[in-house]
A and B are shown apart, each in its own frame.
Chain A
Amino acid sequence: NAGVTQTPKFQVLKTGQSMTLQCAQDMNHEYMSWYRQDPGMGLRLIHYSVGAGITDQGEVPNGYNVSRSTTEDFPLRLLSAAPSQTSVYFCASATSGVAGELFFGEGSRLTVL
């Protein structure tokens, strides 16, 4: 079982470029989410999904798009990268039920120049 897999692990972009961070889970979890981790600010929720075809905004959604066409995949798109999006991004998934535990990927470190 791979759990939650994120690619790429590292990426450097120039301002204005676009890219997609990939996230896949093999645990058949309904819930998936994206966070960004910044020093002194902890993890902030970007977008989340409670099932295929359903997505919603988190705390800091601006500049990011998501889609959930399958249960397994939840890609995060940056359409026009900005230096403020330099961060470490984490994908997480959870199964249904009360107080579901979040399972995290290893993280993707993105630098926007």
Chain B
Amino acid sequence: AQRVTQPEKLLSVFKGAPVELKCNYSYSGSPELFWYVQYSRQRLQLLLRHISRESIKGFTADLNKGETSFHLKKPFAQEEDSAMYYCALSTGGFKTIFGAGTRLFVKA
């Protein structure tokens, strides 16, 4: 069965500290992985996708097929990064499932 696991419900870091939001997936095929973000009072929106291998707002994520992980990282957290982050897995045919989400709180 396909599954996305985000083990941390809440992650609290100080401004300027590194941050890593963990995501593990379970899927027998070739996965398409994403990170979505929901800022306060805003729509859920795409942050980045693994296929693009891009850095958005200083965030990066590397797909590790051996560990079935897609952790989201940023070397220096900013207060504006405080939001809800969801890891998502697309299993083809556009069906996309999400993890439970991690709330990131960046303290001043």
Q: Shortest beta-carbon distance, B105 to chain A, in Å?
A: 16
Flag whether A44 is at the interface (Cβ < 8 A). Answer: yes
Residues of B in contact, count (CB < 8 Å): 24
Q: Which residues of B contact A106 (CB under 8 A)?
A: 43
Q: How far is the CA of A96 from the CA of B36 in the complex (A)?
A: 19
Given A40-B100, A42-B99, A42-B100: A100 and B43 interface contact (C-beta under 8 Å)? no
Beta-carbon contacts of A90-113 to B below 8 Å, as 1s and 0s? Answer: 101010101111101111000000
Given A99-B32, A102-B46: A41 and B90 interface contact (C-beta under 8 Å)? no
Flag whether B97 is at the interface (Cβ < 8 A). Answer: yes
Flag whether B25 is at the interface (Cβ < 8 A). Answer: no
Instruction: Pick from A42, A100, A104, A107: contact of B6, CB below 8 A.
Output: A42
Q: Which residues of B contact A104 (CB under 8 A)?
A: 43-45
In the assembled complex, 29 residue pairs joining A and B whose CB atoms fall closer than 8 Å, in A order, are A33-B95, A40-B9, A41-B100, A42-B6, A42-B101, A43-B44, A43-B86, A44-B97, A45-B95, A45-B97, A45-B98, A50-B93, A56-B95, A58-B95, A58-B97, A94-B96, A96-B94, A98-B51, A99-B32, A99-B49, A99-B90, A101-B34, A102-B36, A102-B44, A102-B96, A104-B44, A104-B45, A105-B43, A107-B43
